[in-house]
Chain A
């Protein structure tokens, strides 16, 4: 018979087994024969996700919404599929940075901010409290129902008597003891609790088996299989609604929002983070968990709907809450062993949650809330009490007790009016507030601490206003119906007029909007500090590396040891330090100064015990000198880079200066050269001008003086005067030409002509000269006309010049001049003489101005030196080339190359 004593004894026996399992696991861990280092155990440990909510509440929810209980398990399934991609990174960060809680994780990412860690902890406490309460509620109700076996009576929690007779109170006390015993036995630098994990995994197994047992019983004993149940349900007009979406509050939108928050909750609930990340022993377990965990979820949920429908069909006449169908049905069927098994299963589900959650929360409260406050008091820091690990443990134990009692009170005075799942979703929505800061922080460097603080606070406030406040009923029905002080826009279930959503979806929408919005806005406005950026890089970067070692100052090794030992115990400290020494193959003596790497290692050891932010504060307080703030490091680097830039600028300027100097020097030399040339020119020209002028004057005077000169002689003198005048004219013209050519003021008379014409004109003009010198002229000119576009007179001038030059340098009596004209790709005119030729070094320079080739035969320079320069200018204006070569045998050859008319046209066209 099932009476109080038997139930209580069974419960105690079960908890006794749990203790044994946990104790055994811890023992094995101490002997380094860990039994939890298996993927199956890991998977079962994260199945702590399924609590009394799953065990009792799912059926309750299915009974009113049909398949609407399912998204809470589909979300984690999807997340598990991408474990290896998403969570592995988080796992690595947790391991390398010695992160112990979710508050630690968030605070660490955003520059080891103690304020942020504290905020997250408080939110977690408030948010999880309802969740703990429903576990206690489940235990209380299940006990109350079971003890009435074989009757099924209504159970009203309010009538379960005073505190001292309330079994759930004693269960709560028992849970506190269990959690303390297995969660806070010592301060570990990694916060792992092997016994705890083993117990949790065991409980996951028990609850699964119990639920399967009841499922099979309902489906195949009370009914004839699934087909029977569903057929009967379909026949009932009320129940048929449960087979599709019609009974699901919020429809597809509600379905989606439940999926999303359960994804967030699965990762970021404190107990989940603890089991998934902190307690993980091997990252490869993630791979198995990827499919094994969804399988667990599937199996445990398979029978939920059938049980719910079965309960609705069979228990219509009984005043039983659907949350308790799993117990009521075996009682109905008079199966007391099964009922007891179900009770144990529910107990298992509830206790695993409470233990795991309170241990995680207590670590958070100690490391991220209490320690930072304690460390602010100098008195505490300077206190040379040898062992503070006792203080830490005490803080944690008190926290555990506190959370359980708070949960108990919530259950007794508030929570029992709502179905289990609804309260549970409250907590899910609270845990979801951590998701944006974490997920965005993992991928966006620009996410800043200010943004995270604003986002999380804002989201939490919205959650508080739209869920916790109305649910608690403190402000009464008026508040819900008409908003605060009648402001309908601020109705907690319909903010700003957004109606049509169920309260949970509504709250999730607004809180996420505010959370993400403030996170992004805050990060854009208040950019992350340099240290935040460094931390972000560690979280986002591809491989978590060792920290930048920026400890300045020094601390004696013994002091460091003492500090660490105060928090994690002497024995562990010694072990850790000797491991470090062995790994780095150095010896550590107490009197030596600890190097930055060792200081960093010590900081990490402390971080495992009291959180990263507090550890940093502590170590910096004892290191003489201080840890360089990141900002300072950056300023120093900045200054150096500024100096470097400055010196680079100076170098460049020096280079530019020397280049300019070189430039000036060259220009100066050139100017001097030109000046000299100018002087030469002036003297030459004046000499050249004076010579004929002198002759003209001389002969004119003679003529004037001697009036009775012979006619012949007079004519001879006049002839000289004439020719000298001509020479003078020629010279002046040349000079003027040159000047005009140089300044570009010449007017070209460009026309279409036959190039043979200027040549012929030139030949005609110099004919007399050639005749006089008895020079033989040979012409090889095409029969065809040569089309050309140019200035006729100028071209003639060129050819005259060349011919007369050739004539001047030809030997007397034996001179030969050959003119050839070729017209193929370009027009080529050559004028060869058989004179002495031109010395090699002068072949180029003869075309320069004022250059005069001394003609031995003539005895003095002939001409002004301008003639060929003028020719060059003219030919170049016609886009041609003029140059001189020496003949193979004797004499020089002047070559004029001009582009054909066609190629000129082509060029002009391409230039247009």
Chain B
């Protein structure tokens, strides 16, 4: 896999690690509901889906 894709995946890893932890996580630490979904729950699953999507896109590009 070309270097830039490996680096991007590594960056994705780091980004994921940051997004999934304190302090970014603390920003969403409220019991509010947004469109009926608790924001913490929504935030986590949205970021999760985003990471998966980006990874899939990057990997398909690298082939």
Contacts and interface: CB of A to CB of B under 8 A. Distances in A.
Interface of A: 67, 70-71, 74, 77-78, 81-82, 84-85, 225-228, 230-231, 234, 240-241, 243-245, 252, 255-256, 259, 287-288, 290-292, 294-295, 298, 302, 305
Given A74-B48, A244-B31, A291 B55 contact: yes
Contact of B26 (A77, A82, A252): A252
B13 A81 contact: yes
Given A226-B37, A227-B36, A252-B26, A294 B21 contact: no
Given A74-B20, A77-B16, A298-B48, 14 more contacts: A81-B55, A82-B9, A85-B9, A225-B36, A230-B37, A234-B33, A244-B38, A252-B21, A256-B21, A287-B1, A291-B53, A294-B55, A295-B56, A305-B41
Interface in B5-61: 6, 9-10, 12-13, 16-17, 20-22, 25-26, 29-31, 33, 35-38, 40-41, 44-45, 48-49, 51-53, 55-56, 59
Contacts of A81: 9, 12-13, 16, 51, 55
Given A243-B38, A291-B56, A77 B48 contact: yes
Contacts of A298: 45, 48-49, 52
Contacts of A305: 41
Contacts of A290: 9, 55, 59
B63 to A, nearest CB: 8
Contacts of A287: 1, 59, 62-63
A85 B36 contact: no
The size bracket of the interface on B is 35 or more
B26 A84 contact: no
Interface of B: 1, 6, 9-10, 12-13, 16-17, 20-22, 25-26, 29-31, 33, 35-38, 40-41, 44-45, 48-49, 51-53, 55-56, 59, 62-63
A252 B22 contact: yes
A240 B31 CA distance: 7
Given A85-B10, A244-B40, A302 B31 contact: no
Nearest to A252: B22
A294 B33 contact: no
Q: Is the interface of B mostly helix, strand, loop or mixed?
A: helix
Contacts, number: 102
A245 B29 contact: yes
Nearest to B23: A252
Contacts of B22: 252, 255-256
Contacts of B52: 77, 291, 294-295, 298
30 contacts: A67-B41, A67-B44, A70-B44, A74-B16, A77-B51, A77-B52, A78-B13, A78-B16, A81-B13, A81-B55, A85-B6, A85-B9, A85-B10, A225-B36, A226-B36, A226-B37, A227-B36, A230-B38, A231-B33, A243-B41, A245-B29, A252-B21, A255-B22, A256-B21, A288-B59, A291-B59, A292-B56, A294-B55, A298-B52, A305-B41
Contacts of A225: 36
A244 B40 CA distance: 6
Given A243-B31, A290-B59, A67 B9 contact: no
Nearest to B26: A252
Contacts of A302: 45
Contacts of A240: 31
Contacts of A70: 44
Which of B16, B35, B62 is the most central at the interface, judged by chain A CB atoms within 10 Å of its CB? B16
Contacts of A85: 6, 9-10
A240 B32 CA distance: 9
Nearest to A82: B13
B13 A227 contact: no
B31 A234 contact: yes
Contacts of B16: 74, 77-78, 81
A227 B37 contact: yes
A228 B33 CA distance: 11
A94 to B, nearest CB: 20
B46 to A, nearest CB: 11
Contacts of B38: 230, 234, 243-244
Nearest to A85: B6
Q: Is the interface of A mostly helix, strand, loop or mixed?
A: helix
B29 A244 contact: yes
Contacts of B51: 77, 81, 294
A82 B16 CA distance: 11
A536 B53 CA distance: 37
Nearest to B49: A298
A227 B36 CA distance: 4
A240 to B, nearest CB: 5
Which of B35, B36, B41 is the most central at the interface, judged by chain A CB atoms within 10 Å of its CB? B41
Nearest 8 pairs between A and B by C-beta? A227-B36, A252-B22, A291-B56, A291-B55, A243-B38, A243-B31, A82-B13, A81-B13
Contacts of B33: 230-231, 234, 243
B40 A245 contact: yes
Contacts of A245: 25-26, 29, 40
Contacts of A227: 35-37
B30 A244 contact: yes
Which of B12, B17, B25, B31 is the most central at the interface, judged by chain A CB atoms within 10 Å of its CB? B31
Contacts of B17: 78
A685 B31 CA distance: 119
A191 to B, nearest CB: 28
A243 B36 CA distance: 12
Nearest to A228: B36
Nearest to B38: A243
A252 B25 contact: yes
Contacts of A295: 52, 56
A267 to B, nearest CB: 14
Contacts of B53: 291
A39 B21 CA distance: 30
A789 B49 CA distance: 92
Contacts of A231: 33, 36
Contact of B10 (A82, A230, A244, A252): A82
Contacts of B21: 252, 255-256, 259
B25 to A, nearest CB: 7
Contacts of B10: 82, 85
Contacts of A243: 31, 33, 38, 40-41
Which of A225, A243, A288 is the most central at the interface, judged by chain B CB atoms within 10 Å of its CB? A243
Contacts of B29: 244-245
Nearest to A287: B59
B49 to A, nearest CB: 6
A243 B32 CA distance: 8
A69 to B, nearest CB: 11
Contacts of A291: 52-53, 55-56, 59
B3 to A, nearest CB: 11
Nearest to B12: A81
Contacts of A84: 1, 6, 9
Contacts of A74: 16, 20, 44, 48
A245 B31 CA distance: 9
Contacts of A241: 31
B11 to A, nearest CB: 10
A256 B6 CA distance: 25
B41 A78 contact: no
Contacts of A255: 21-22, 25
A78 B6 CA distance: 14
Contacts of B12: 81
Nearest to A240: B31
Contacts of B9: 81-82, 84-85, 290
A228 B6 CA distance: 42
B35 to A, nearest CB: 8
Contacts of A244: 29-31, 38, 40
A245 B20 CA distance: 13
A398 to B, nearest CB: 42
Contacts of B37: 226-227, 230
